[in-house]
Amino acid sequence: MEVGRAYTRVDAADKVTGRARYTDDLHDGPMLVAKILHSTIANGWVKSIDTAAARALPGVVKVLTCFDAPQIQYPTPGHPWSTDPGHQDVADRLLLTRRVRIYGDDIAVVVAEDEVTARRALKLIRVEYESCPVMLEPEQAMEPGAVPIHEEHPDNILKRTETVVGQPDEALSDPALLHFEGHYQTQQVQHCHIENPISYAYMEHGRITVVTSTQIPHIVRRVIGQALGIGWGQIRVIKPYIGGGFGNKQEVLYEPLNAWLTTQVGGRCVKLDVSREETFQNTRSRHPIRFDIKAAVSSQGRIMARECVAISNQGGYASHGHAIVANAVNGFRQTYPDAVGHRSVAYTVYTNRPAPGAMRGYGIPQCDFAGECLMEDIAREMNWDPYQFRLKNIMPLGYVDPTNGITCYSTALARCMEKGRDFIRWDELRAKYQNQTGPVRRGVGMAVFSYKTGVYPISLETASARIVLNQDGTVQLQLGATEIGQGGDTVFCQMAAQAIGLPTERVNIVSTQDTDTAPFDTGAYASRQTYVTGKAIKKAGELFREKVLSYAREMLPQAGELDLRAGEIVDGGSGESLLTLEELAMEAFYSLEHSVHITAEVTNHCKENTFAFGCCFAEVEVDIPVGKVKVLRIVNVHDSGRLINPKLAEAQVHGGMSMGIGYALSEEMKFDPATGRLLNGNLLDYKLPTAMDHPELTALFVEDEDPSGPFGNKALGEPPAIPVAPAIRNAVLHATGVAVNTLPLSPQRLVEEFRKGGLI
Amino acid sequence: MMEILRCTVNGRPVEVGIDQRESLADVLRERLGLTSVKKGCEVGECGACTVLVDGTAIDSCIYLGVWAQGKTILTVEGLQNENGELSPIQQAFVEEAAVQCGFCTPGIIMSAVEIVGSGKRYTREELRKLISGHLCRCTGYQNILNAVERAVNEAHKFVGREEQEQ
Ligand code: FES
Ligand code: FES
């Protein structure tokens, strides 16, 4: 079995020797360097820009401003194109903008012979602004009379949606039920992939090539075409290895600007070097969302109805638009289907913050924080065991979401919870930490989640795979799906090997996507690739296998039923080896009777989706006077169906847990409310957890076959980051009796809350 | 102002013209083509650019090229032995699945070379501290620690055996 093997990453050796090449490692020869001029106001207009001094600086090649850039508004999210204009992404960006919407907006750019000159030239540009009041919170932006950030949305509300399932109102006012309210707020955090989203662009044969650190090369190509108003075939996007993405690179960032710049300097190569500070300020982040929740629960502990109002802070640009908060309220509803009904109201509101977009979990880390805090708070108030209360209400097998039809084809959530409970010693420690006193106390907490796999039926799900035979009986696997650090390339090879009947060792993956040659796939997001691309690989592998066997039948007309196993053509009955794939390949390539290059290419239009599940259990120690939380032990248990590669799956979970720990305890983008300036946009002041901030991380699985997955598998990439923050929050609540409803649980916030709670 | 930098890089003497303002990271990447030296912040925060200078791990983004005059520099390109085998530290990173996107990897490996080279044994907590100058967003450091711990233990076993033989 190739699927299920703990196969060593196919790129590991290249990565430990430094031979794996990333965008900035690839260019050779002279190139120009571009640097962007960012606004020093957060809301207003550029009245004029004086570039004379900058242009006069020796070494400056070109200075371009918002007054020069094309006035074509374009969208930026990594969504598939929609053929329905009503469902197309919000097109609210320009390459350079006169209307300043965030502190640091892109208003001009210098192209110079070298970086030092480019930076010096930026300092020589004089800008005159007209400013408006800064609005960092939705409440400010929604106030009557607030200045519209985009004129298309005079009230600054990008979108409001309301979804009602069943009859929630009756239950929500039924005096026979128990009623609860909760208010929860998440913070803005950044992906902090260690490679910044760098790109370079040049022209060849009149076409534009952009080499870029992206998760979505085919979408980047399309959006460059939209932004420049040129045919999409005029653009070639190349995606080499990337140093992490986590959703930030599921967005078209500076590639359109970079593509435009090369056209402005006669096709010469221009590198757009994005600094860490620009990555924080000008690329995406995770939305702060406020949740106001009402719940009606029966005295037996069954959730009858809930209402969830979510207000998402979209910052200055639409990015993924309303999709993320819409996903958040759906996710909130799905994990615990209400017995009677549910209402969700979601707002996406423009403000002057740097625009958030997709980040590992796509709204679900936020809603899971709200949902799992709520479950804990209800259980606590009712004196129920939070474990049992959850168990009573989790999504059952066969659940069908009434709004979109997404179905629960498999669930091992209850068994995941059991495993997590045993690991943490739930019953024992819940009792032991019951009545503590003193400044240092311990607690255990838990949280669960559900997560759909890919984006069907909300968007198109399509993936293509190509398999090409080599003379020595190995194959090349070509995909539009991308390796972004998660181990995609390795599991794709395993899946192809499984489908064809080869050892994984004999599958070579073409890791780099070049949109001129890579098959079409929308890319790495929504934890979709092992599922959606996996289906394409499976079909392509089966077709390839069929073609090989058909050629084998030509070569072995006398033989009975044939099979391809471990790279050999064998007798289907006895298993006796009749021909190696190498022998067959040589014949197929060079036969004077019938020469054929055996290849297979398949597009799979995926029209299925399924839920992945999991939970986190944490034990913490809280030093109350200093507001410090130490995570002593932590475990994530996942139901992602069958694992393609258990070793990589485990590693993936570790990384997600780590991100969850930062989300819970330390990470937060902070702003100056007066100017809108980001105060901690660097890796020193933004508190990314280091090795010292981590406990040992334990990742466990329950492996059930999902009938809808290509190999019994379902989503794994994003889920590990989801349940950690609420599990830690609930553990702190258990330890101290104080419910903290705002992330992160930083020392400052905890000391405040402990004061309010009378502990200090 | 340009200046000639003479130093030893991965065991070979090097003579190269550099700008006095250039960081060692840029010298290694742009002038010598050693692109294992990654840049994640260029201000000494992330550790991706770590190389060894005379055996000591430094952030090469905040170390001037000219300071390396006469010194001995090691990057991961210099770790494979003459037969092309991975060093035990590299091997440990591969086998422990300590590599994901791989962008932090060369830098952490160079710190691991320094740690292992000290010949000492360390507790898990000490190792956490020793690699805390490196940021990794993919791994939660779990498998990285496993790899470093394994490399330290293996080196120690090896040293231990040599001691016995003497
Ligand atoms: S690039 Fe040198 S420490 Fe980050
Ligand atoms: S492996 Fe991606 S940053 Fe460490």
To the nearest whole percent, how much of chain B has pLDDT over 70?
A: 95
Contacting residues of A for B32, CB less than 8 Å apart: none
Three-state DSSP string of A120-186: HHHHHCEEEEEECCCCCCHHHHCCCCCCCCCCCCCCCEEEEEEEEEECHHHHHCCCCCEEEEEEEEC
Handedness of CA A697, A700, A706, A711 (dihedral sign): positive
State the DSSP H helix or E strand holding residue A731, giving kind and residue range, or none if neither: helix A724-736
Query: Is the CB of residue A744 less than 8 Å from the CB of residue A667?
Result: yes
pLDDT (tens digit, 9 = 90+) per residue, A471-511? 999 999 999 999 999 999 999 999 999 999 999 999 999 99
Q: Of A389-403, A709-723, B147-161, where does mean pLDDT reach its minimum?
A: B147-161
Whether the predicted pLDDT of A27 surpasses 90: no
For range A394-400, the mean pLDDT:
98
Fold of B2-78: Ubiquitin-like (UB roll) (3.10.20)
pLDDT tens string A588-618: 999 999 999 999 999 999 999 999 999 999 9
On chain A, the residues whose CB falls within 8 A of the CB of B131 are 691
- Average pLDDT, integer, range A735-751: 98
Answer yes or no: are the C-beta atoms of A616 and A657 closer than 8 Å: yes
B102, A696: Cβ pair inside 8 Å? no
- Give the pLDDT confidence score for residue B164 in this predicted structure: 47
Per residue in A642-662, pLDDT tens? 999 999 999 999 999 999 999
Instruction: For residue B160, name the pLDDT band (cuts at 50, 70, 90).
Output: low
pTM for this one?
Answer: 0.97
ipTM for the complex? Answer: 0.97
CA geometry: angle A260, A263, A266, nearest 5 deg: 155
Residue A237 CA, chain-centre distance (Å), reads: 21
**Residue B5: predicted pLDDT:** 98
pLDDT tens-digit profile of A111-125? 999 999 999 999 999
- B-proximal residues of A, 256-285, CB under 8 Å: 275-276
pLDDT at A518: 98
Atom nearest to B61 CA in ligand 1: 2
Collect all residues of chain B within an 8 Å Cβ-Cβ radius of residue A9: 94, 97, 99
Distance A274 CA to ligand 1 centre (A): 14
Tell me B17's DSSP state: E
Give one DSSP letter per residue of A638-694, joined into a string.
Answer: EE-BS-S-HHHHHHHHHHHHHHHHHHHHT----B-TTT--BS--STTTS----GGG-
b/e per residue A133-167 (b: at least 16 CB within 10 A): ebbbbbebbbeeebeebbeebeebbbbeeebebbe
Show me where the domains of chain B are located: 2-78, 88-159
Q: Please determine, looking at this structure, whether the domain spanning B88-159 carries the CATH number 3.40.50.200.
A: no
User: In whole angstroms, how far apart are CA A485 and each of A112, A217, A527?
Assistant: 33, 15, 13
For the CA of A276, the closest atom of ligand 1 is 4
Task: Residue window 187-246, chain A: list those with CB within 8 Å of chain B.
Answer: 191-196, 241-244, 246
How high is the pLDDT of residue B159? 59
Evaluated on CA atoms A237, A239, A242, A247, the torsion sign reads positive
Whether the CB-CB separation of A306 and A323 falls below 8 Å is answered with no
φ, ψ of residue A219 in degrees (nearest 5): -75, -35
SS (H, E, C) A293-310: EEEEECCCCCEEEEEEEE
Q: Please list every residue in chain B whose beta carbon sits closer than 8 Å to the beta carbon of residue A7.
A: none
Task: Report how far residue A49's alpha carbon sits from residue A336's, in angstroms, rounded to the nearest whole number.
Answer: 55
Count of CA atoms in the C-beta half-sphere (13 A) of A660: 35
Q: Which ligand is nearest to the CA of B46?
A: 1
Which residues in chain B are closer than 8 Å to A244, comparing Cβ atoms?
100-101, 103, 137-138
A655: contact with B, CB 8 A cutoff: yes
Report whether pLDDT(B166) > 60. no
E strands of B10-53, at which residues? 12-19, 50-53
**Mean pLDDT of all residues in B8-18:** 98
CA distance B73 to B49: 13
* Tens digits of residue pLDDT in A37-59: 999 999 999 999 999 999 999 99
Instruction: Indicate if the pLDDT at residue B161 is higher than 60.
Output: no
Residue B1 pLDDT: 85
Considering chain A, what percentage of its residues have pLDDT values greater than 70? 100
Q: Which residues does a 6 A CB cutoff place in the pocket of ligand 2? A: A 194, 244, 485; B 100-105, 136-139
Percentage of chain B exceeding pLDDT 90:
92
DSSP H or E stretch at residue A619: strand A611-623
- Most B CBs within 10 A among A8, A16, A21, A273, hence the mutation to make, goes to A16
Amino acid (one-letter) located at B59: D
The distance of B127 to chain A (nearest Cα, Å) reads 9
Q: How far is the CA of B19 from the centre of ligand 2 (A)?
A: 31
Percent of the residues in chain A that have a pLDDT greater than 90, as a whole number: 99
E runs forming strands in chain B: 2-9, 12-19, 50-53, 56-59, 72-74
Mean pLDDT of B129-148: 98
Name all residues whose Cβ lies below 6 A of ligand 1.
B 39-42, 44-49, 59, 61
B88 to chain A: closest CA residue: A16
- Domains of chain A by start residue, with CATH: 31-132+197-273 (3.90.1170.50), 289-456+608-756 (3.30.365.10), 462-605 (3.30.365.10)
Q: Are B94 and A16 a contacting pair at CB < 8 A?
A: yes
How confident is the model at residue B77, as a pLDDT? 97
Average of per-residue pLDDT values in chain A = 98
